[in-house]
Amino acid sequence: MNIVILDGYTENPGDLSWEGFEKLGNLTVYDRTPGEKIIERIGKAEAVIVNKTPIDKKVFDACPTIKYVGVLATGYNVVDINAAKEKGIVVCNIPTYGTDAVGQFAIALLLEICHHTAHHSDAVHAGRWENNKDWCFWDYPLIELAGKTMGIIGFGRIGQTTGRIAKALGMEVIAYDEYQSDAGREIAKYVSLDKLFADSDVISLHCPLFPSTEGMINKENIAKMKDGVILINNSRGPLINEADLAEALNSGKVYAAGLDVVSTEPIKGNNPLLKAKNCIITPHISWAPKESRKRLMDIAVDNLAAFIEGKPINVVNK
């Protein structure tokens, strides 16, 4: 089997091995593939592995040898799954690999807002402590989380992981999810979305991007929140109306935001959040610890191996 990986760099910048795929066929790996090179690089490959490179009907029409598309991610919107289904092409994703990593990162964003450790470390290295009149100093309010309420929107695996860590920090945890579970009830109290907005000191987003959730953090819903609420999002950027959030940050209605995702990635220079007050933005790296990427790699290899054996798993276009 001829296998081509079109954009492998973010999954494996050199600290992992492609050996698992190499055992399954003739492998060609590209770090990145521009749009005009997609069809040429697929060539006569039967298995195409992508992360964010788009595979649409035009590509399927031009590359009739494709039998399998593997997505190196949970989200698979980069692939036209309907066109793939029409042609009998199997599309598989990685349904879970970074639960612990993403939950940990959500809390890391929150703790950075509470303590601004990087800022204060930079200040010390710049000589400000050495030359300070007092034995300590701080440039931002320092926030203790124990006793405060975290509201989690989307209480699946990642939301629950985040909730468990928040409870370990002494926080009360409430959650909103259309599908409630006993596992969720062991961690949090389920509430309505409006009650979550009203009662939370911290709101953390862990829900999928659907038409019903797109832009759910908007001017109307922000008005329902506590003054000085903290917002965390390392789920999907379009969950937030960025102009509305920027306005709320600048007015102080939202005290701070910690974001690992934005509506368009890489971020555009005119994104209003870049100039908003108290807004920490990281470049979509929640998923990226080596341990997490190794699990992703192993599952991706297992997906292709199962397809070759005629027993495909994690299929998203059945």
User: What letter represents residue 194's amino acid?
Assistant: D
Q: Look at the block and give the residue holding tokens 């300590």.
A: 136
Given the residues 22, 40, 86, 265, select the one marked as catalytic: 265
Q: What is the pLDDT of residue 308?
A: 98
Q: What is the pLDDT of residue 65?
A: 98
Residue 116 annotated as catalytic: no
What are the DSSP calls for 187-215, one per residue? T-EE--HHHHHHH-SEEEE-----TTTTT
User: pTM for the complete prediction?
Assistant: 0.94
Structural domain boundaries in the chain: 2-97+290-308, 99-281
Q: What is the pLDDT of residue 133?
A: 97
Secondary structure class of 99 (helix, strand, coil): helix
Architecture of domain 2-97+290-308: 3-Layer(aba) Sandwich (3.40)
Q: What is the pLDDT of residue 249?
A: 98
Q: Rounded to 10 degrees, what is the CA torsion of 228, 231, 237, 241?
A: -20
Residue 206 annotated as catalytic: no
Q: What is the 3-state secondary structure (H, E, C) of 234-262?
A: CCCHHHECHHHHHHHHHHCCEEEEEECCC
Do 218 and 254 form a contact (C-beta atoms < 8 A)?
A: no
Given the residues 116, 236, 293, 295, select the one marked as catalytic: 236
Q: What is the pLDDT of residue 79?
A: 97
Given the residues 115, 157, 164, 284, select the one marked as catalytic: 284
Name the nearest CA neighbour of 261 among 120, 118, 73: 73
User: What letter represents residue 307's amino acid?
Assistant: F
What are the DSSP calls for 273-310, one per residue? GGGSTTEEE--S-TT-SHHHHHHHHHHHHHHHHHHHTT
Q: What is the pLDDT of residue 137?
A: 98
Do 124 and 138 form a contact (C-beta atoms < 8 A)?
A: no
Q: What is the pLDDT of residue 302?
A: 98
Q: What is the pLDDT along the chain (318 residues), one digit of tens a residue?
A: 999 999 999 999 999 999 999 999 999 999 999 999 999 999 999 999 999 999 999 999 999 999 999 999 998 999 999 999 999 999 999 999 999 999 999 999 999 999 999 999 999 999 999 999 999 999 999 999 999 999 999 999 999 999 999 999 999 999 999 999 999 999 999 999 999 999 999 999 999 999 999 999 999 999 999 999 999 999 999 999 999 999 999 999 999 999 999 999 999 999 999 999 999 999 999 999 999 999 999 999 999 999 999 999 999 998
Residue 284 annotated as catalytic: yes
CATH class of the domain comprising 99-281 = alpha beta
CA–CA dist 81, 69 (Å, integer): 10
User: What letter represents residue 204's amino acid?
Assistant: S
